Amino acid sequence: MNKQSTINNIIIAIFSLTLLISCSENVSYDENAIKLTIQEIIDTPTNSWFKTEMNNYKPDTNIIREIINNFDSNKHKVYLYANFSCGCSNQQTDISHLCKVFKECNIPESSYEIYSMRSSTGKHPYKSRFSISELPECIVMKDTNAVYFMLDTMREHKLYAEIIPVEQLLLNGLKK
């Protein structure tokens, strides 16, 4: 057996053991949303994909300029929800791409919040304002109203084989 094959077997064994342990009935989970910063997500070893996806994403510069012109930190706030403990959805990358857009637009951290949740039914601080149908999700708020559910919209368009970049979705939400 070659070295790469041995390494692959070790990785598979570790993953299997982790999965087995995480499915045990004796493990208790916090069903509440946990607030995270981009740096905390990047620093978590199981999220190594996040920084790579964020760095590799190239948002449309024309849309970035429009976001900069439309974003009002006194009116707008964006809430991001994802299950960072699982790689079960390729839409997790949409969160990292959106974080890249925030950085490119110099949107202050006080204008967005990121939460890790185990399921869409978990408790989060804004549950009285809106509910989440599926994870991941990004909600654009204007004043205190949820005006646009970005990833719900993206999922809807994907049903018709339409792909809309996250920066366009953010801009659409800002214009509501």
For residue 78, what are its two tokens? 């964006």
**Extents of the domains making up the chain:** 27-174
Q: Which CATH class is domain 27-174?
A: alpha beta
For 152-161, the pLDDT digits (tens) are 888 887 777 8
- pLDDT score for 16: 44
Q: Which residues contact 89 (CB under 8 A, 6 or more apart)?
A: 83, 135, 136
Task: Name the one residue in this structure whose structure tokens are 């890790």.
Answer: 116
Q: What percent of the chain has pLDDT over 90?
A: 48
DSSP state, 32? Answer: B
For residue 9, what are its two tokens? 């077997």
For 14-47, the pLDDT digits (tens) are 544 443 344 333 333 456 899 999 999 999 888 8
DSSP H helices, the chain, are: 3-22, 38-43, 48-56, 61-70, 92-104, 150-158, 166-174
